[in-house]
Amino acid sequence: MTETFRVLIADPIHEDGRKLLESGGPLSVDVETGLDTESLVARIPHYDALIVRSKTKVTAPVIAAGHALKAIGRAGIGVDNIDVAAATERGIVVFNTPDANATTTAELTIAHLLSLSRHLPQADRSVRAGDWKPARFIGSEIAGKTLGIIGFGTIGRLVAVRAAGLKMRVLAYDPFVKPELMAEHAAEPRNLEELLAEADYVSLHCPLIDKTRNLMDASRIARMKTGARLINCARGGLVDETALAAAIEAGHLAGAALDVFAEEPPKASPLLALDHVVMTPHLGASTVEAQQAVSLRIAEDIARFLTTGATETALNLPRISNEQLGRTRPYQELARALGGLVSALSDGPIRELVVRVFGAASKLDPRPITADALVGLLSARLAGPVNRVNAAHLARAQGIEVRESRSEQARDYVSLLEICAVTETATKTVAGTLLGGRLPRLVRIDSFNVEAVPRGPFLFTRHSDQPGVVAALGAILAREGVNISAMHVGLDANGGSERAIALISISAPLSPDALAEIEALPAIDKVSAFEL
């Protein structure tokens, strides 16, 4: 019977998005807007996915109450109304639509730039009041002026191209974007101080995080060119509104245009009293085209995730194409099994996990492979749910350092995946490959060569290489009524050792008494039972 997934739409979205969800397979869609936190906490336990805009706050209590919640979708760019850290810790995928309303926001930025330059809102109010005094509204041409863009993501690049088309000189600052990419979009790279000193107009296009909160504070506003203008169509908390108002009143800045505010609506903002400030009510995505685009995009992402598991556009997972994920998926399954195995073989807390990829597989993005190795490693060690979303977070919380390495040099196999776990007292290494590029095989445990399908319950022993060990193990399993599906006995590939291992695929888990009896056999050094 096909599982039905329930989706709650908590903020208004375009009807095309809702219709797509309703026609997108085994999805049941409810629309309940205007819920306060208490009401949302009461409703959310019944849903697999939640879709919001900017109004609904998806707080940690809401996320904690979402016992079945698998995904949160934000129809728009900013996710400061969503506790992404809490969602990640719970293994909930967060989606947004960073590019769907990019053109609309870029066009609004240009509109604000022109409004500031020609005093359009003030002139409009004057005419409506019965005045006709064009001399009061002498403006400035923007051709030949310098625009400084802080934050050079998709929207910043679109603004740059449009400003260049208006014959403006464009500067850009973004510590995460290469200068070559800025040049491709008609912008000259600058550091932040240089940009503020040179620009006639400064436009903000960066996310609101701890490092960017009050990015434009009193000290940075003071570094702006005298007579410059500030535009913010990004996030409200980027600007210290009190400092901005003071700079305009003092004549240091000629004006500002803001579409976003620290508090929305800005009931107590000192900017409200200033005539040289243009203010709009968060219109960045408010076009027919953008409303439809963000709604369709988030609906597509949520429907695809719930029905296929696709996470290409997830905010809290590495952004990897579905084509690339299709190629890595068999290695992810192998990595999860190997992670579970090395966890079972390692005694005590693990302080380091090393994932090494050799041969043809080295050309793949290792991040999803490492994530699944962590899922396998941690699932048997933690009580809560572990998945690809929260695995890295949980590893950090456990004090586990994770390292990756890749080498095109093959090691006995066309592709080889090696996972190494380091504890205070020992290092355990397991390795596996894919037969035919898709069938997982365990090929090595430490220095012992084996060949096993890493699936199902197993018994592992490390013992003296002497006659009678296998027979003794078989006798105990037979008495327990447990069949041996496959047995793999390995000798040290380096030679010179009197130790051996046995990896036995069994039909059912063993009882604690049976394990204790095996451990008591004189030849046995170590015994472990686990399921992969």
Q: Which residues are catalytic?
A: 235, 264, 282
292 vs 157: CA distance, rounded Å: 22
Other C-beta atoms closer than 10 Å to the C-beta of 443 total 19
Q: Which amino acid is at 19?
A: K
Q: What is the DSSP letter of 225?
A: P
Q: How far apart are CA 90 and CA 389, in angstroms?
A: 8
CA distance 156 to 23: 35
Angle of the 102-118 helix axis to the 288-308 helix axis, nearest 10: 150
Is the link from the previous residue into 266 a cis peptide, with omega within 30 of 0? Answer: no
Q: Are 433 and 337 in contact (CB under 8 A)?
A: no
∠ Cα 20 23 27 (to 5°): 100
Tokens (6 digits) for 292? 């439809």
Segment holding 473, helix H or strand E? helix 469-480
Q: Which token pair is 18?
A: 């809702």
491 contacts 497 by C-beta, under 8 angstroms: yes
Q: What is the per-residue DSSP string for 403-456?
A: EEEEESS-SSSSEEEEEEEEESS-EEEEEEEEETTTEEEEEEETTEEEEE---S
